[in-house]
Structure 1
Amino acid sequence: MSRLALRVFETHHCPAAILTSLHINITTLSLPQTRQLHAQILRTGLSLDSHFATKLLSLYAHHLRFSEANTLLNSIQNPHVFSFSTLIHAYSKLTRFTEAILLFSRMIISHGLVPDTRLIPSVIKACSGLDNLRIGNQVHGFCVTSGLCQDSFVQSSLVHLYLKCSRLNYAHKVFDKMSHPDVVSCSALVSGYARDGRVNEAKMLFGRMVELGIEPNLVSWNGMVAGFNQSGHCLEAVKVFRNMHLSGFKPDGTTISSVLPSVGELEDLSVGVQIHGYAYKHGVGSDKWVVCALIDMYGKCSSTMEMSQVFYEMSQRDLGACNALISGFARNGLTDDALKAFNRVRSQELKLNVVSWTSIIACCSQHGKDIESLDLFREMQLSGVKPNAVTIPCLLPACGNIAALMHGKATHGFSLRTGISDSVYVGSALIDMYANCGRIHLARICFDRMPVRNIVCWNAIMGGYAMHGNANEVIEIFHSMEKSNQKPDFITFTSLLSACSHSGFTDQGEQFFNKMSKEYGIKPRIEHYACLVTLLGRAGKLNEAYSTIENMPFEPDACVWGALLSSCRVHNNMKLAEVAADKLFELEPNNPGNYVLLSNIYANKGLWKEVDRVRDVMKSMGMKKNPGCSWIEIKNKVHMLLAGDTSHPQMIKIVEKMDNLGMEMKKLGCLPVTSFVLQDVEDQEKEHILCGHSEKLAVVLGLLNTPQGSTLQVIKNLRICGDCHGFIKFVSEFEEREIFVRDTNRFHHFKNGLCSCGDFW
C-alpha cells in the first residue's frame, strides 16, 4: 500500500469505500497494515462489509493469525459462506484438520449456511487427514441429500477419503457413480488396490481405463509400481515396470526408486543392473532417491562392491544414501565396514538421525558386537538424537546376549518414560531381554502387563520359559494362547518341543510334534525335526532319533546331525557319533565344534590315538577349538573371561579364592570330576585345568566384587561341563548365593546347592 493511500485511509470514516475508490489491492497488505486497517474500522464504529471482512479474514489466515481471524469472524453480524470457507480452506491447507471440521460444523449448525462445491473438498480433505471415517460418512451423506455429490471435484475428494481410510470398496462405488471419471481418481484407486495387495482388482481396473475414456499417464503407472512394492508383491511390481516400458512410457526417477526395492527383495541382480544402466542413460541416475534405492538394491543382492561404488560416485552425499550404505553392510554381516562408514559420516558435516543410529546399533547387536551396541546407544543419547520404538527392540537383544541386566533395565525405564513401552515390538524385546538375563519372572510381568499381544509376544514368553527349562509353564501358556484364539505358528511349536527336550518330557513332546500338523496344518520344518531328534536323543532313545533322521521328508541339515552328535556325547554312543560326525564333516567342513565333539567322545572312551587323529585333521585344516568364554556384569560393567586366560587384573585373587573353595569342597567330600578334562594328563594337572574353566573364573570374580547374598549372572559361550556344574552348586550353598548361568543349551538356576535343570541338561 502506498503512503498516499495510507494517509487517505487514516483520515476517512469509510475505509472500504476509500480502498475501493483508490483501487488498492488489499492482498498486498502486511500484518501490521492489516491490523491498522482493522483497528481503524473498530475506532470509527462502522460495521464491516461482508466482502471486505472476507478479505481481512484471508489476510489474517495468510499471516497465520487464526485467533485474530476468529475474533473478526465472530464480529460479523451476517457472515456468508465465503467468510467461513476462507478460514476452512486455510486450516485444511495447513493440515489443521480438527479446526477445519469444527468451523464447518459451526457454519452449518449455528448459522444454517449451506456449503458450496468449492468448500466441500477442503472439508473432506480434513476428514481424510484425520482418518475420521465417521465424520467423512456424515459429510458424504450431506453431499448426497444436498445434491453436491454430483460435482466431479466432490466425488474425487470422496474417492481419496475412502482410500485414505482403507475403504476400497466404498471408494470404488463412488468412482463408479462419477459422471466423468478422471485419470487422477482412477490412478489413485488403482494404486490403492495395489498397496492393499489386491493384485487382480488393480490390474482389472487399470485395464479398464481406456474403456472408461481415461488415458493412463505416468502417475497411473507409478502408482501401480509403488503400490505392489509396498504390499510386498515384488514380482508384480517388476512386471508392471517392464510393461510400462514396453508400452512406450518413459520411467522417471519415481518409477526407478519404486521398483528397485522390489528387485532387491527378489535378489535379481541382473535386472537391477539393467535398471541401473537405464537410469544412468536417461539422466536420472544422480537423483538422490534413485541413488538410495540403488544402494539398497545392491546391498540386498549382496553386491557390496557395487553398492559402495554407487555411494562414492555421488556428487553430493545425503543422509539417506549414508543410511542405505550402513544398512547394506549390516545386512551382509560386514559389521566392521558398517562401523567405518558410520564413523566416516559422523566425521563429516552430515547430521545423523535416528535411522542412522538405529541401523548401526542393530548391526552390532545382530553380529556379536553387543558391547559396541550399548556404547553406541549411549553416544546416541549424548548427541541429542532421541531413540524411538524401533531403536529399543534393536538394542535390547544386545543387553540379553551378554546378560547386561542393568543396561536392560535402564533401557526399559527409558521406554516407560517416553511412552513407547506399550508397543508390541518393544514389549516382545523386553520379554526376550529379561528372559536372556535370567529374570524370567520380570519377563512374565512384562507379558502380563501388555495391553495388546500378538503372536510374537506369545512366542517370546514361551521361548523364555523354554530356555529356562520350565516345560510346565510353556505348556500352560500354550493352552492360554489357544483359549485366547491366537493361532500358533511354527515358532510356537519350536518353543514347545525345545521345552520338552530340556525337561525330559518325551511323550508330551512327541504329542506336540504330531499336533502341529494334524490340528493346525503346520508342516514340520527342519528345526522341528532337530528338536525332535534332541528330545529323543537326550532321553537316551538314540536309535529312534537316528530313525527319525532317516525318515525325514527332506535332507537333514547340520542342525539335525548336530543334535544327534550332541546326544551321542551325553550317552557316549561312539558308533552313532561317528555316523553323525561324518555327515557334519561333509556339511560343515570348517566348523571346529564338530571335530571337538567327536574328539571328546573318543577322549571319554580313553581312545587317545583317535583323539590325536581328529586333532591332527583340525590342525592340517587350520582350525582351532573355540575357547570357552564367559561374561559377567559387575557394577554396570561387563567382564569377559577366557578359559585358561590369566590376563585379568584380579587373577591372583581369583586363583586364591578358587583354591580356598576347592579345599572346602574336598573337606565335604566333593572331589573335582576330572573325567571332564579331555586330555591325556595326570589327575593333578586335570584339576588345574578344571580351575581355568571360564564359568568358574566368572563366578569367583563375581564373589569377590559383589555384596554377600547378591545374585550372580554368568553367560557361557559353550555348554557348561559337569565339573563346573557341580562346583557352582556347591558355591550357591556355601556362599549362600543365587547364581544364574546361561550356556548354549539353556539357563541353570543354582540355589541352596541345587540346580533348576535337575542335573538334566
Structure 2
Amino acid sequence: MMKKTLPFFDPFLFFTDRTKPRPFTIANTKILHAQFLKMALLQSDFFVANSLLDWYCKSGSIYNAAKLFDGITQRSVVSWNTMISGYNENSLFDDSWRMFRRMHSLGLGPDETTYGRVLSACNALQAILCGKQVYSLAVKNGFFSNGYVRARMIDLFEKNSCFEEALKVFYDISCENVICWNAIISGAVRNGKNWVALDVFCQMGHGLLVPNSFTFSSVLTACAALEELDTGKGIQGCIIKHGSGDVFVSTAIVDFYAKCGEMSEAVKEFSQIPTRNVVSWTAIISGFMKKGDSVNALKFFKEMINMKEEINNYTLTSVISACAKPGMIGEAVQIHSWILKSGFYFNSVIQAALISLYSKLGFIVLSEMVFNEMEDISHSNTWAVLISSFAQSQSSHRAIELLQMMLQKGLQPDRFCASSIFGVIESINMGRQMHCYVHKTGLVCYPSVGSSLFTMYSKCGSLEESFKVFQKIHVRDNISWTSMIAGFVEYGCANEAIQLFKEMLSEEAKPDQMSLVVALSAFSSLRSLSRGKEIHGYAFRAGLGKETLIGGSLINLYSKCSALGLAQRVFDILPLKDEISGSSLISGYVQNGAIALLNKLGIGIQLHALIIRLGFNSEVSVGSSLITMYSKCGSIEDCQKAFFEINQPDLIGWTTMISSYAEHGRGAEALKVYELMRKEGIKPDSVTLSGILSACSYNGLVEEGYFYFNSMLKEYGIEPGNRHYACMVDILGRAGRLRDAEKFINNMPIEPDALVWETLLAACKTHGNIELGKLAAKRVMELEPSHDGAYVSLSNICADLGHWKGVLEIRNLMEGTGLRKEPGWSLV
C-alpha cells in the first residue's frame, strides 16, 4: 500500500499571496508555528520568522510574539519594527517605547519605519519630550528629509497642543511628500488654525505636488469652519480638475455647502454621490438643522430610515436638535419612540440629547423621566444637562436638589453644571458656599464659571464681591467683560461701567455686539452723546453698525440725548427693524416733546383695542403702561380695568396702580391695593412707598403716613430718601401742622434737598404763613440759586395776605439776580 504524499508547502507563496483571506487567529498562528518548527525554518529563514512574528501580533497574542522574538538569534530591523508595530496595534505603547530603547541600547540602526512607529507610540503616550529625543536621533542619522518621519513628528506636536512646534518641523526643510503636507494641513484644521491650513494648501499648489483626497477633505473642512464659500468653490474646481473625487471628498463637499448655509447646493452634491455613507447623510441633516429647517431635516432622516441606511449617534443628535422648536413636541415623541424601538435609547449621549430637547420644549417632566430611566448616570455632563434644564425653566429648587444628589453619589459637577447652578442661586449665603466648592475643586479657573459666579453676587445685591471675583479671573473672555459691565450699569454705576469698558479695550479684547450694547447703556444713563458717537463709530468700523441689537441701543442713546435726528437716521438704515428699535424711537419722540399725544384718551383707547387684539393686555409691562396712560388721561375706572386684565402683576404693576389711586385722591383704595400686594408676598420698594405716602398726603392720613414711613426701615430695610421726607412734610403741611413739618425737617438724618423745602414752602402758601415761608424760600434759593419758583411762591404768599410792599421787594430781588418768571402757556 502506497503512502499518501502531502502537497508541497511554500512559506514564501503562503505569506505573499494576497488573493486568499488572512485568518489571523491564535490557533492558526500556532499551527503555522508548529509546521515551521518541523521544517526547521525559523532560525534559517528570516522572512518566515518575521512573517510568523507579524501573525502573532495581528492575532493579538503579543505574549507569544515576544517569546518568538526572544528566540530569534539573528534579528533584523524588520523584526524590531514588527514588534514595535505589534505593541502599537495592541495599545501597549509603553512596551513599544521600551522595545525602541532596547534596540537603541544594542547599537542597532533604526530605519524610517522604526522612527515613524515609535513616534506614533510617543503620540499616544502624550510624551512630547520622548518624541523630541526620537526625532533628534532621526535627524542625526540622516532622516531629516524623510516625509514619513516628519509627518509623524508633526502629528505628535499638533495632537498635543504644540501646533507652532509642528509648523517649525514642517518648514525646517522643503518636502515633496504629500503625507507631510497633509499632516500639517489636517493638524491646522484640528487646532482651529483654518486660515493656516488654507495658506499651506495654496503653497502646495505652487509646487509640483498633487493633492489627494485626504488633502481636499481637510481644506474643505477649513472652508466650512470659516464659511469661506468662494474659496471652497475654487477647491471644488481643483477636485474636478484632478479627478480626486471619492466618497470622502464628496461628503466633505456636502458638509462644506451645508455649513455655509447653501442647502440647495448641498442637496445637489448629495444627490450625485453614488454610494452615500452615514457621514454624508448626517452632514445634510445637520445642515438643515443649522438653517432651522426642521421639516427637511426630518424628511431626509425618514428617507434614510426607509433606505435602511446606517444611523449613528451623530445622526440622531442632529435629528433630536431639529425637533427642539416650539410646537414640535409631536415629532419629538415620534423620534423618541423610534429611538426606543431601534435600540439607541440607552446610549448616554442620546439620552442627554433627549433631556435637552424636552427642556427646550418646556416639558421638564419628560426630561426628568428620561434621566430617571438612564442606566449609566456616572457622567457629570448628563447631570449638567438636567440641572441646566431646571435652571432654564427657573426651577431653582429642583436644580439645587439635583446638585445635592449628584454630590451624594460622589460625582463632581463640571463647569457647565456649576455655571447653571450659579444662574439660579438667589441666596448670597448659598452662593458663598458654592463659591467655596468651585474654588476648592478648581472649577473657578474656567471663564464661564467665573462669569456666572460674579453675576450671581451681582444678582444677590453684592456688587463689591462681584467685582472682587471678576478681578481674580486670569483669562477674561467677552462674556466675562460684558457681564461685569452690565452689573455696574444695572446698579446705576455708569461711570464704573465705562471705566471697565476702557480697560477691556486696553487689554486688546475685541468687543462683540453684547459688549457694545451694555457700553451704550452706560453712556445712555449719563446722557453722554459724544462718547456714544465714538461707540457708534467703532461699531460701524467693526461691521456691526447695522445690527438690529446695536441699532436699538443707539436709538435709545440718541433719544435720551435729545438727538432725535440721529435716532431717526439709525432707525432708517437698519435692514431689520424689530420691536425694540421701534419702541425706542417712539419713546424718544414722546420724551422729547410729543406732548400733543399725552392726555389724548381717544388714541389711548385705540391702542388698548389693538393690544387686546394682539393678546398683550395680560402682559404686566403692557398693562402697567396702560394704567399710566389712563391715569394721565384722568380715567381711574379704566386704570382699574387695565390692572385686572394683567395675569400676574409684578411690583411695577402694583406700584403703578397704587400711584394712580394716589394721584386721583383715592387714598383708601391705594392703601387697600397695597395690602393686597403684601398678601401676594410682593415686597414694596422705595417707589411703592413713595406712592403710599402720596396717597396718605392727598387724603389727610397723618397717622397712617407716619406708620408707613416708619415701616420702611423697620420692615423692609429701605433707607428713606429726600422724596419720602418730602412726602411726610407734605402730609403735615396739608394738615396745617407747619411747625411739626419744620421740626420734622430739622430732625432729618440726611441733608434736606430743595424738594423738601419747596414742599414746606407750598404748604406755607396754602396756610398763609409768611415767616416760615421766608425761611423755606431762603433754603430753596441757597440750594438752587437759579430756581425762580421759590421767588414766585414767596411773592404769591405776600400777595394773598395783601403785603404788596413785600411783593415788590421780592420782584426787585428776582430781577437783580437776573431771573425771569417763565410765562404761563397752554395746549389749548
The answer to whether structure 1 residue 71 and structure 2 residue 71 are counterparts is no
Are residues 1:220 and 2:220 paired?
A: no
In structure 2, the gaps of 5 or more residues are 1-64, 88-94, 731-744, 754-781, 790-828
Which amino acid in 2 is paired with 1:399? Y
For residue 579 of structure 2, what is the aligned residue in structure 1?
Answer: 525
Look up the SS of the partner of 1:114 in the other structure.
coil
Distance 1:614 1:184, change over 3 A: same
Determine which of 393, 403, 415 is the counterpart of 1:332: 393
The one-letter code sitting in structure 2 at the alignment partner of 1:177 is: K
Select 1:199's aligned residue among 263, 268, 271: 263
Contact 2:384-2:416 at 8 Å conserved across structures: yes
Contact 2:658–2:692 (Cα < 8 Å) also in 1: no
**How far apart, in 2, do the equivalents of 1:90 and 1:172 lie?**
26
TM-score scaled to structure 2, two decimals? 0.66
* CA deviation after TM superposition for structure 1 residue 413, in Å: 0.7
Question: Which is further off, 544-553 or 396-405?
Answer: 544-553
Change (3 A) 1:407 1:185: same
Aligned match of 2:104 in 38, 53, 59? 38
Query: Partner amino acid for 2:383?
Result: C
**Counterpart for residue 88 of structure 1:** 153
Matching residue of 2:742:
none
Residue number among 344, 348, 353 corresponding to 1:293 in the alignment: 353
8 Å contact from structure 1 (residues 574, 602) kept in 2: no
1:125 to 172, 182, 186: 186
Q: CA deviation at 1:280?
A: 0.2
After superposition, where does 1:582-621 map in structure 2 within 5 Å? 582-588=641-647, 594=653, 597-607=656-666
| Partner AA of 1:114 in structure 2 | E
- CA distance change for structure 1 residues 524 and 21 in 2, over 3 Å: closer, same or farther? closer
Distance change (3 Å), C-alpha of 1:258 and 1:38: same
Identity fraction in percent: 15
* Structure whose alpha-carbon radius of gyration is higher: 2
Alignment partner of 1:188 is 2:279:
no
CA distance, structure 1, for counterparts of residue 537 and residue 79 of structure 2: 81
Please tell me whether residue 169 in structure 1 is matched to residue 233 in structure 2. Answer: yes
Q: 1:691 aligns with which of 692, 710, 715?
A: 710
Task: Return the alpha-carbon distance in structure 1 between the equivalents of residues 748 and 241 of structure 2.
Answer: 82
Aligned position for 2:11: none
Q: Where do residues 437-586 of structure 1 align in structure 2 (5 Å cutoff)?
A: 437-449=491-503, 450=505, 451=508, 452-466=510-524, 468=525, 470=527, 472=529, 476=533, 480=537, 484=541, 486-487=544-545, 489-492=547-550, 495=553, 508=563, 514-515=568-569, 517-523=571-577, 525=579, 528-529=582-583, 532=586, 536=590, 542-544=598-600, 547=603, 550=606, 555=614, 557=617, 558=619, 559-566=621-628, 573-575=633-635, 577-586=636-645
Cα distance in 2 for residues equivalent to 1:547 and 1:237: 47
Q: Name the one with the larger helix percent.
A: 2
Q: Distance in 1 between matches of 2:746 and 2:533?
A: 30
Shift in Å at residue 613 of structure 1? Answer: 8.1
Match for residue 323 of structure 1 among 366, 384, 404: 384
- Aligned partners of 1:148 and 1:154 also within 8 Å: no
Whether contact under 8 Å (1:399, 1:433) holds in the other structure is: no
Contact 2:198 2:219 in 1 (8 A): no
- Where 1:386 maps in the other structure, the secondary structure is helix
1:319-366 per-position Cα deviation (integer Å, ceiling 9, x unaligned): 2221111111122221111111122112112221101101111233xx
Q: Is the 8 A contact 2:339 2:345 kept in 1?
A: yes
> Which residue does 2:171 correspond to in 1?
105
Post-superposition Cα deviations, 1:664-711, rounded to whole Å, max 9, x if no partner, equal xxxxxxxx995353796741442232122249974659xxxxxxxxxx
Q: State the distance in 2 between where 1:624 and 1:138 align.
A: 65
Deviation at 1:284, TM superposition (A): 0.4
1:516-553 residue CA offsets vs partner (Å, 9 max, x unmatched): 54343553627854884697489775225873773698
The answer for the alignment partner of 1:708 in structure 2 is none
Indicate if the aligned counterparts of 2:627 and 2:660 stay in contact, CA closer than 8 A: no
Task: Provide the secondary structure at the position in 1 that maps to 2:103.
Answer: helix
Assess if the C-alpha contact under 8 Å between 2:286 and 2:318 holds in 1: yes
Matched, 1:363 2:363: no
Distance 1:394 1:163 in 2: 32
**RMSD of aligned alpha carbons:** 4.6
Letter of the 2:386 counterpart:
L
TM-superposition CA deviations, 1:153-211 (whole Å, max 9, x none): 444454445445554334423333342521112112212222232222212211222xx
Task: Report the Cα distance in structure 2 between the residues aligned to 1:251 and 1:311, rounded to whole angstroms.
Answer: 23
Q: Judging changes above 3 Å, is the alpha-carbon distance between structure 1 residues 441 and 383 closer, same or farther for their aligned structure 2 residues?
A: same
Check whether the contact 1:295–1:311 (CA below 8 A) recurs between aligned residues: yes
Q: What residue is the counterpart of 1:379 in the other structure?
A: 437
CA–CA separation in structure 2 for the residues paired with 1:383 and 1:489? 40
Q: Match of 2:324, SS?
A: helix
- The yes-or-no answer on 1:350 pairing with 2:406 is no
Deviation at 1:436, TM superposition (A): 2.3
Name the count of aligned residue pairs: 646
In structure 1, how many angstroms separate the alpha carbons of the residues matched to 2:361 and 2:306? 26
CA distance in structure 2 between the aligned counterparts of 1:447 and 1:350, rounded to whole angstroms: 39
Q: Secondary structure at the match of 2:447?
A: coil
- Say if 1:444 and 1:218 are closer, same or farther in 2 by CA, change over 3 A: same
| 1:435 paired residue number | 489
Render the CA deviation track for 1:300-329: whole Å, top value 9, x for unaligned. 111111111110011121322211111111
Worse-matched range after superposition: 191-200 or 162-171: 162-171
Residue 659 (structure 1) aligns with:
none
CA shift at 1:149, angstroms? 1.2
Equivalent in the alignment of 1:281: 341
2:585 & 2:713 partners in 1: Cα distance? 28
* Matched AA of 1:337: R
- 1:270-304 Cα deviation digits (max 9, x unpaired): 00000000000010011111100110111111111
Contact 2:693-2:727 within 8 A present in 1 as well:
yes
Distance 1:380 1:285, change over 3 A: same
Q: Distance in 1 between matches of 2:324 and 2:600?
A: 43
Task: Give the secondary structure class of the aligned counterpart of 1:438.
Answer: coil
**1:626: which partner in 2?**
682
Report the CA distance shift for 1:442/1:24 in structure 2 as closer, same or farther (over 3 A).
closer
> What letter corresponds to residue 197 of structure 1 in structure 2?
G
Residues 594-603 or 684-693, more deviating: 594-603
Distance between the aligned counterparts of 1:734 and 1:608, measured in 2? Answer: 26
For 1:178 and 1:721, locate their aligned partners in 2 and report how far apart those are by CA, in whole Å. Answer: 85
Q: Which amino acid aligns with 2:665?
A: G
CA contact (8 A) 1:175 1:186 kept: no
Number of the residue aligned with 1:259: 319
* Cα distance, 1:21 vs structure 2: 11
Which residue does 2:764 correspond to in 1? none
Structure 2 CA distance, aligned partners of 1:347 and 1:696? 39
| Structural mapping, 1:209-248, within 5 Å | 209=273, 214-230=274-290, 232-248=292-308
Describe the shift of the 1:721–1:496 C-alpha distance in structure 2 as closer, same or farther (beyond 3 A).
farther
Give the match's secondary structure for 1:459. Answer: helix
2:813 matched to which residue of 1?
A: none
Letter in 2 for 1:550: Q
Q: For residues 381-408 of structure 1, give each alpha carbon's deviation from its aligned partner in whole angstroms, at most 9, with x where no partner exists.
A: 2333234333344344433334412112
1:310 partnered with 2:370: yes
The one-letter amino acid paired with 2:364 is T
* Counterpart Cα distance in 2 of 1:187 and 1:405: 52
